[in-house]
């Protein structure tokens, strides 16, 4: 029943349309290999926005701002006041309010999931937490918010929280977790740093997780050896979870996540320390017993956000993947032959904006967030 409900909800959401905002500035026309790229501001003045989620029935778009605000962008481009009922966040360094996703049964339960940095660790340290609550009908409040997951122990002084939230076709919730800039913890199975975890929507641990029942091992863990995963998405053609993560100085990766596998950090990396020195724990670009990256950038774009394109609106983009780039300030388009990357294009570099998130909208356009003090939500398509 869980799988059937999720699939019905996903199919219904494909029928939703988002209208262009009435006030929006004129589209900027940029060059691309598929033709003229139209980039239209939907709303401006966002404070370091981090993620977005589309509400059904043209109710608008939920947007998180890292300092701790959750807002609604209406279908005519108006920005709401911050919603009440959002948890207090630890807004330091890279920490704050992070990802947002809707329950697969949102039309019935109105449940919204949020990930965020939560304080309370020894020495004012923080970790990633995930909770859920119900969005009020007037779109002004998150009611009955409850934490369903906490990264333990809390080790971050402001770095490497992850985190993306992804529901799979069977209704399980995946959470990507950074290693809090504490490299060895990504290999420690008694800790939740540098992991992808898999839980039920209420936070319970499925019995078929790979490490359930093993002494000294966290049962939530699905995979490990990740550094700082700030992009993740379900491949719509295979149903398999993909994630991308920051390398250190070089070595940003795409990984196809498999049950119980070790993705190598910090033993295996294509990068070096920001100081220019080698990673002390690294044994090379690959290491025995670990999974090599599916795709790697030796020069880091600073990956964040990830969207598979499977809409009919722009045929030239079908079966492509789009990823935001914070450091190189671009939208990366990847073209595939099967699962193999065969071509890469860099888009929107003329705007000189740090791209934090990218999602495919129900209308077939891409929606892109820029991580700035005056952040922008853009609608992106081909002319």
Q: Which residue numbers are catalytic? A: 160
Give me the residues paired with residue 30 across strands: 37
DSSP letters, 293-343, are PSEEESS---EEEEEEE--SS-GGGTTEEEEEETTTTEEEEEEEETTEEEE
Backbone angles phi, psi at 2, to 5 degrees: -60, -45
C-alpha of 267 from chain center: 24
Q: What angle do CA 150, 153, 156 make, to 5 degrees?
A: 95
**H helices, E strands: number in the chain:** 2, 24
CA distance 280 to 278: 6
Distance CA 182, CA 254 (A): 21
Cα first-last separation, the chain: 42
């Amino acid at each position: 029943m869980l799988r059937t409900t999720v699939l019905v909800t996903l199919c219904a959401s494909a029928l939703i349309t988002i209208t262009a905002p009435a006030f929006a500035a004129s589209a900027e026309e940029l060059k691309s290999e598929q033709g003229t790229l139209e980039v239209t501001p939907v709303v401006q003045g966002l404070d370091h926005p981090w993620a977005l989620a589309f509400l059904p029935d043209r109710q608008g778009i939920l947007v998180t701002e890292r300092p701790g605000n959750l807002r609604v962008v209406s279908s005519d481009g108006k920005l709401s006041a911050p919603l009440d009922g959002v948890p207090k966040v630890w807004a330091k360094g890279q920490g704050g309010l992070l990802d947002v996703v809707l329950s697969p049964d949102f039309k019935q339960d109105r449940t919204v999931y949020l990930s965020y940095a939560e304080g309370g660790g020894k020495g004012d340290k923080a970790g990633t937490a995930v909770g859920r609550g119900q969005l009020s009908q007037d779109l002004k409040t998150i009611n009955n918010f409850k934490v369903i997951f906490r990264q333990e122990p809390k080790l971050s002084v402001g770095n490497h929280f992850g985190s993306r939230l992804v529901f799979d076709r069977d209704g399980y919730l995946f959470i990507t977790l950074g290693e809090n800039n504490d490299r060895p913890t990504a290999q420690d199975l008694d800790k939740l740093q540098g992991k992808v975890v898999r839980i039920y929507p209420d936070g319970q641990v499925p019995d078929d997780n790979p490490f359930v029942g093993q002494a000294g091992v966290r049962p939530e863990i699905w995979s490990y050896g990740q550094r700082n995963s700030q992009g993740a998405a379900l491949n719509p053609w295979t149903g398999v979870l993909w994630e991308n993560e920051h390398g250190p100085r070089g070595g940003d990766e795409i990984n196809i996540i498999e049950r119980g596998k070790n993705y190598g950090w910090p033993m295996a990396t294509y990068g070096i320390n920001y100081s220019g020195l080698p990673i002390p724990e690294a044994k090379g670009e690959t290491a025995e017993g670990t999974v090599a990256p599916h795709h790697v950038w030796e020069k880091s774009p600073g990956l964040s956000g990830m969207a598979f394109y499977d809409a009919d609106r722009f045929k030239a983009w079908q079966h492509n993947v789009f990823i935001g780039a914070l450091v190189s300030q671009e939208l990366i388009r990847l073209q595939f032959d099967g699962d193999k990357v065969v071509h890469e294009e860099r888009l929107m570099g003329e705007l000189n904006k740090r791209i934090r998130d990218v999602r495919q909208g129900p209308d077939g356009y891409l929606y892109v967030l820029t991580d700035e003090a005056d952040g922008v939500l853009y609608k992106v398509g081909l002319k």
